[in-house]
Structure 1
Amino acid sequence: MEEILASIRRIISEDGADQGGAAPAAESAPPPPAPEPAPEPEPEPMMAMPEPEPEPEPEPEPFMPEPEPEPMMAEPELDPEPEYEPAPPPPPSPRPRRAAAPPPPPRQSEDILELTDVVRDEVEGLVSPPTAARAAAHLGQLSGAIAGSRAMGLGNSQRTLEELVKELLRPMLKEWLDAHLATIVQRIVEREVARLTIQAEEEQDHL
């Protein structure tokens, strides 16, 4: 009987606890205990490092005897320098001889043929050699023709071919001389002055 009553009380108490005191019971429940910290791992034992083996000492190099020095060769004796002999003075240059003055040209007559030769010599510097040669050939032919007919008369008159040629050439010759004579004379004078100046300087150097 007592056991039945005890069981009824237990049931009633459990029902009341379930209805009104479920939440407070939960609040009043103590918090769960904190987990214990894990134990620290024990340090591993340090392994002893093997000591390094000592390096073997290098073997000493074999002793090589030093080569004996070669005997010094005696220096060859130098030939004595030849005594300096002064060069003989150059022989004096021979004094240049003054060129003999050319003989004076023959006196020219008033013949037209000789005047033509003089003019031809002066013209050689103004024309080319072939032209001068052809002109000389023509003048030679003309002089030969004049010499062959020097005394031949022209028609019934007393005038000769030589006089006619003189008359025709005189104005031409005068015109040419008026145009070129001054230049020709100037060139000849300058050339002669230069020659005399050089000759005087050479004579002064040799004195």
Structure 2
Amino acid sequence: PPAPLDFDAIDFEDEAFAEPEPEPEPPPAQPSPQPQPQPVFQAPPRPEPEAETLVSAATDASVNGAFNLLAHTVLTQNARTLEDLVKDMLRPMLKSWLDDNLPAVVERLVRAEIERVSRGR
């Protein structure tokens, strides 16, 4: 069997056990100079065209006033909905159409039914 080591006899301060000196850090590398970017050609900015209006300022103000009045009127009439307004507008048109066309429609349907029943006998 191998002989046990006598740790007391070992001189740990001997140069053989000394830690090696750390190597000095290299100086930081200088970044390589970046080439200058080539200038990009840009057309000179054009002035924004002035917005052309279809109506004069007076007409525009008049129309805005009319729409504001309409909106105010609609909102103050017991908060009627658009559906209610459309019903009120369509009622006379529908009455007129029915007055003009209902008799002819009913007559045509009655004749067709009479012919169907008379053929069935």
TM-score by length of 2: 0.37
TM-score, structure 1 as length reference: 0.22
Bigger relative CO (Cα 8 Å, ≥ 6 apart)? 1
Larger radius of gyration: 1
